[in-house]
Amino acid sequence: MPLYQPRVPSLGPVSPRARLILLVLAAGSAAVIGLVLGPHSITELRSTVAAAGVSAPVVLLAAWLVLVPLLVSGSLLAAGTGVVLGPAVGLAVALPGATLGAGIAFLAARTAAGDAARRLAGRRLRLVEERLVRRPVLGVALLRVAPGVPAGPLAYAAGLTRVRLRDFLAGMALGGAPRIFVYAALGGTAADPGSPLGLTALGVFALLTIVGLAAGWRARRRFGSRLTRVAARASARPVASAR
């Protein structure tokens, strides 16, 4: 089955390297804007949204759509959403907000750089992309669950691959739901961290950390062995042709 080839908008004579540089500069500028203008604490986020009253869920959803592409911490946003709206409503707002915000960053990367990364990538990166595209929903979900992988940079990077938008969104929602639950629940139970919900969130956080580390270790072993086989086949070809 052939791999999906996304339609990439033409940027005329701009070279792939220049397109990647422009994307990096744009993402860096977005991060600076988010750092300067975005909320720096849960208290600041709560005070900003408090004036919205009953419209707070809509305001927070819009904030997710803007702040995720600006690389503002999703953990901070999820915890703040839980503090303002409570754990249940906070999760209902944060999960679609995080997923759609990541989709905006994904489309921005695909529009700005398209297939530039694939043209410049070496064999190792092409193998990584191939593995991701073969099972995109599961691959994106595992990356989203993995510790230390923020949603914003992951979305920009995924936009440079051949992953379909729908598969990317599904993977982000699947992998993001447990993490967003954890932070929304911890934010919503900040006044009573020893509550059953707060303790459950801590348990889920520990489980996610273990699962993410185990999945990363297994993926590295499998990918390393495959890369070794590919290199061995490539080195054997000159010998076979010489014969």
Q: Is residue 84 part of a domain?
A: yes
- Does this model's pTM top 0.85? My answer is no
Residue 98 lies in a domain: yes
Instruction: Evaluate whether residue 6 is within a structural domain.
Output: no
Judge residue 203's burial from the number of C-beta atoms within 10 Å of its C-beta, 0-12 exposed, 13-18 middle, 19 or more buried. Answer: exposed
Residue 4 lies in a domain: no
Domain of residue 184, residue span:
16-242
* Residue 232 is assigned to a structural domain of this protein: yes
State how many domains the chain has. Answer: 1
Residue 8 lies inside a defined structural domain of this protein: no
Angle of CA points 113, 117, 119, to nearest 5°: 110
Has residue 64 been placed in a domain? yes
Tens-of-pLDDT digits for all 243 residues of the chain?
455 556 655 555 666 667 667 777 777 777 777 666 666 666 666 666 666 677 888 988 998 998 898 888 888 889 888 888 888 888 999 999 999 999 999 998 888 776 666 666 656 666 667 777 888 898 899 888 877 788 888 998 888 888 899 999 999 999 999 989 998 888 888 777 778 888 888 888 888 888 777 766 766 666 555 544 544 454 444 444 445
Q: Is residue 20 part of a domain?
A: yes
CB 186 within 8 A of CB 201: yes
Q: What is the Cα–Cα distance from 141 to 188, expressed in whole angstroms?
A: 25
